[in-house]
Amino acid sequence: MPLKTPFKTALRQVRTAEDLIIQVIGDDGSVGYGNAPATVVITGDSHTSAAAAIRQYLAPAVIGRDIDDREDILQAVQQAMVHNTSAKAAVDMAVHDLFGQKYGLPLYRFFGGARNEVVSDLTISVNDPAVMADDARKAVSEGYRQLKLKVGVGADIDFQRVSAVRQAVGPDMGIRLDANQGWTAKEAIRLIRRMEDAGLDIELVEQPVPAWDIEGLKQVTDHVDVDIMADEAVFSPHDVFRLLSMRACDLINIKLMKAGGLAPAAQMAAVAASAGVGCMMGCMLESKVGITAAASLSAGMRCIQKNDLDAADLMAADPVAGGLQYQNGRLVLTDAPGLGITEIKGWQELSF
């Protein structure tokens, strides 16, 4: 999938996106869809490794089972191997899709049905301050009311990037930052305080420090007023429990590809809610299959209040027919059963 503009973060730069799509096919011919985008610098999962994990370990946990044994199937998928969360997410998603189709249930209703649409921010890639300001103005003209700025590449120029965007979009636009592990704890504290003093009005800062540095994350959380969100530092429900027991962050970013699917992602949201902590539903650079699944969970559960699900809107052409619709920053879910995916155009079949 070619992108409208190159996607640049503190971790990587890409011009096109590829996704691994799987189908779980029922005896009645119904097809459940799932996806596993490669994010080797985040989850460690590549398309080759995800395909191998599914072929050898995850598919045997699903094939031949009764879809009504959903809980057992999903547990078998999680327990078939450690890690490989993207591969597990693809299979978990497809099983949920098939279950929804059997009972005529759109997945946002399956997960609670709190809403049938969510509002997403739009990601602005890390670039020179003037380029980011231009990209931000364009996002405003497309109807987005919240921006997520990719930063974390040089602390001084990061301050200029955020200042330039705030000047360009005015005071009413929501601005989130994602440093993608790009700062040390002390750099983050200095920089975030400087932005607070300058009145840049930042809603939250995502993953300021390296994923492994939980103490550093807590140090930043303790020393700034802006809310700090854990992303790469939090994959599983257990991670949420551990980080929030330490009060290491103010918010949690849940992604299906980190969690290993919808079931563990819902559990992450419940653990965070139990600690009185808010969640954002995030995504990888992935197709509308996974975005529809993520938005269905987020819309369904009242406790997930923030969304960063713009990935499929970054593609110049969308090969996925059905699923949710993007409408000026709003993601509107379909009332079709399951995910509501009807067709994926131009895919190349892998031998299985």
Closer by beta carbon to Mg ion, 178 or else 310: 178
User: In angstroms, rounded to a whole number, what is the distance separating the alpha carbons of residues 17 and 164?
Assistant: 28
Distance CA 156, CA 176 (A): 18
**Sole window of 99-107, 202-210, 265-273, 342-350 interacting with Mg ion (rule: CB under 5 A):** 202-210
DSSP, res 350: P
Interface residue with Mg ion, options 45, 121, 135, 206 (CB under 5 A): 206
Closest by CA to 84, choosing from 30, 139, 20, is 20
Full DSSP string of 90-153: HHHHHHHHHHHHHTT-BHHHHTT-S-SEEE--EEE----HHHHHHHHHHHHHTT--EEEEE--S
Asked if residue 310 binds Mg ion (CB under 5 A), the reply is: no
Q: How far is the CB of 118 from Mg ion (least distance, A)?
A: 17
Which residue among 218, 255, 288, 306 is the active-site one? 255
Q: Is 255 a catalytic residue?
A: yes
- Exactly one of 45, 231, 239, 313 binds Mg ion (CB under 5 A); that residue is 231
Do strands 13-16 and 2-8 pair parallel, antiparallel, or not at all (unpaired)?
antiparallel
Distances (CA, A) of 156 to 16, 25, 159, 314: 30, 52, 5, 28
- Residues contacting Mg ion: total by CB under 5 A: 3
Q: Of the two residues 22 and 132, which places its CB atom closer to Mg ion in the complex?
A: 132
Where b means 16+ CB within 10 Å and e means fewer, 224-263 reads bebbbbbbbbbbbbebbbebbeeebbbbbbbbbbbbbbbb
CB of 179 to Mg ion, least distance (A): 8
- Residue nearest to Mg ion according to CB distances in the complex: 231
Stretch that binds Mg ion, among 39-47, 213-221, 224-232, 288-296 (CB under 5 A): 224-232
Active site residue 4: no
Instruction: Provide the mask over 79-118, with x wherever binding to Mg ion is found by CB under 5 A and - wherever it is not.
Output: ----------------------------------------
Looking at 19, 92, 121, 178, which residue binds Mg ion (CB under 5 A)? 178
* Closest approach of Mg ion to the CB of residue 192, in Å: 16
Q: Could you list the residues that contact Mg ion (CB under 5 A)?
A: 178, 206, 231
Point out the residues that are catalytic.
Answer: 150, 255
